[in-house]
């Protein structure tokens, strides 16, 4: 009976012991496999604190809830042999690591950190360097990717992976990351109810941020600089685009923002500066663009004739080579209360709005759209004559693409 009581006490103590914090304070180069051994030996919900050093391992699998914190930035050296951390359990945190050199492959999207069908994951404060794919989330929900620095060596579009790649995910937060040198800085496919905020995406090969078939998401207060194009939103609906900066995305087909077949979305409070095309929109409907600053771009807005119910309100168009271009005469969209620095009208009733409607599509813009080589005539006497001919024969430009209440001064944003 006495032994039964002792056994019972031992069982109770084991059950109530809290999760442990296990520290590794050595900092030399590690024997291959030692990191996986530490993870396998830990109990669920333990915190592992791993001191600086080099761990030459790949395909490190995590199958239980753990917090794995790097102290002094230990290095997971994949050495181009496979992937880094593979997370197959809910409630895992990876914090404070250098992870480098995942294997390029035509068959597998090898990543520095892979999440597979999990939730409540945190990927924080890591330095992810020269990997094929960097952070890859597949069929995962309710997770955070925050404060990571992702840097790859730009190669070709076909041989580079994405910085943060999401596929079939829900309720993901991607916040305050710096991403450069990847194919797409952030890529979302079949992703819903997610927030992308405060990220700095620059010098990526294709897009800084790329949406495909993703609904009810928001991207806020991000900066997209010198990418192939800043942001592409395609085949999506319910996307909120607020307070971002799109700048210096240049090239023959570069856009600050590309919208293709999107619906029920908002573009508000953004700054578009020094892009080849600030906004390119096609096949989109029920989109509201308001209180944006569109400054010093080649084209401020290119909107195709198959866009419907798109409204532009209280935007500032300043110092763009061409304010608006379109490919047809059918106009099913509205422009109201925008500021156009090329407007030459007057305000006799002093209500801060021009008394003469403004047609932002110039004849020269239409000619350049049809014959790109005509751009050589920009700011020439020939362009001056074309613009004057347009005033005499206004039917040469879309009659219904008009702002009936243009502001006389820039809109206060």
Q: DSSP letter string over 196-216?
A: EES-EEES-SSEEEEEES-BS
Report the distance separating Cα 195 and Cα 303, nearest Å.
27
Q: Which of 267-271, 355-359, 363-367 shows the lowest per-residue confidence on average (mean pLDDT)?
A: 363-367
What is the C-alpha to C-alpha distance for residues 35 and 258, in angstroms, rounded to an integer? 44
How much is the pLDDT for 1?
43
Q: How crowded is residue 313: how many other Cβ atoms within 10 Å of its Cβ?
A: 18
The residues near 234 (Cβ < 8 Å, ≥ 6 apart) are: 210, 211, 212, 213, 258, 259, 260, 261, 262
Among 94-98, 100-104, 364-368, where is mean pLDDT lowest? 364-368
Q: How many residues does the chain have?
A: 413
Measured from the Cβ of residue 106, the count of other Cβ atoms closer than 10 Å reads: 6
pLDDT of res. 371: 80
pLDDT of residue 254: 84
How many CA atoms does the CB half-sphere of 395 hold within 13 Å? Answer: 1
Residues of the chain with CATH 2.160.20.10: 18-205
Average pLDDT of 220-243?
97
pTM of the model: 0.89
pLDDT value for 29: 62
Whole-angstrom Cα Rg for the chain: 27
> Hey, what CATH topology would domain 18-205 get?
Pectate Lyase C-like (2.160.20)
- Read off the pLDDT band of 17 (50, 70, 90): very low
- Structure confidence at residue 11 as a pLDDT band (50, 70, 90): very low
- Alpha carbon distance 310, 96 (integer Å): 45
Q: Which residue has the tokens 């390029």?
A: 104
pLDDT value of position 252: 65
Cβ atoms of 140 and 121 closer than 8 Å: yes
Percentage with pLDDT > 90 across the chain: 72
């Amino acid at each position: 009976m006495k032994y039964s009581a002792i056994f019972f006490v031992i069982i109770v103590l084991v059950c109530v012991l809290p999760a442990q914090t296990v520290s590794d304070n050595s900092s030399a180069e590690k024997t291959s496999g030692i990191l996986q051994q530490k993870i396998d030996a830990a109990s669920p919900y333990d915190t592992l604190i791993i001191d600086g050093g080099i761990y030459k391992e790949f395909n490190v699998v995590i199958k239980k809830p753990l917090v794995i914190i790097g102290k002094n930035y230990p290095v997971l050296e994949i050495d181009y042999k496979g992937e880094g951390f593979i997370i197959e359990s809910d409630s895992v945190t990876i914090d404070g690591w250098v992870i480098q050199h995942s294997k390029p492959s035509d068959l597998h999207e090898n990543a520095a950190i892979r999440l597979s069908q999990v939730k409540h994951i945190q990927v924080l404060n890591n330095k992810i360097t020269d990997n094929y794919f960097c952070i890859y989330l597949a069929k995962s929900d309710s997770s955070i990717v925050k404060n990571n620095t992702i840097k790859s060596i730009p190669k070709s579009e076909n041989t580079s992976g994405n910085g943060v790649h999401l596929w079939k995910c829900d309720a993901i937060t991607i916040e305050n990351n710096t991403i450069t040198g990847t194919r797409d800085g952030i890529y979302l496919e079949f992703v819903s109810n997610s927030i992308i905020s405060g990220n700095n995406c620059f010098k990526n090969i294709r897009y800084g941020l790329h949406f495909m078939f993703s609904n009810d998401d928001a991207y806020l207060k991000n900066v997209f600089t010198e990418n192939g194009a800043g942001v592409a939103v395609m085949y999506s609906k319910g996307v909120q685009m607020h307070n971002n900066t799109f700048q210096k995305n240049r090239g023959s087909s570069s856009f600050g923002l590309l919208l293709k077949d999107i619906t029920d979305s908002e573009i508000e409070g953004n700054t578009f500066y020094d892009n080849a095309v600030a906004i390119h929109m096609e096949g989109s409907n029920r989109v509201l663009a308001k209180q944006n600053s569109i400054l010093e771009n080649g084209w401020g807005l290119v909107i195709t004739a198959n866009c419907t119910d798109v409204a532009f309100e209280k935007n500032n168009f300043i110092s763009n080579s061409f304010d608006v271009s379109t490919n047809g005469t059918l106009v099913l969209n509205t422009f109201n209360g925008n500021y156009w620095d090329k407007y030459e009208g007057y305000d006799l009733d002093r209500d801060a709005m021009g008394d003469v409607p403004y047609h932002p599509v110039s004849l020269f813009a239409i000619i350049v759209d049809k014959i790109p080589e005509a751009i050589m005539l920009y700011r020439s006497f020939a362009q001056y004559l074309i613009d004057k001919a347009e005033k005499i024969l206004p039917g040469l430009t879309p009659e219904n693409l008009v702002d009936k209440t243009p502001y006389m001064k820039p809109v206060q944003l």
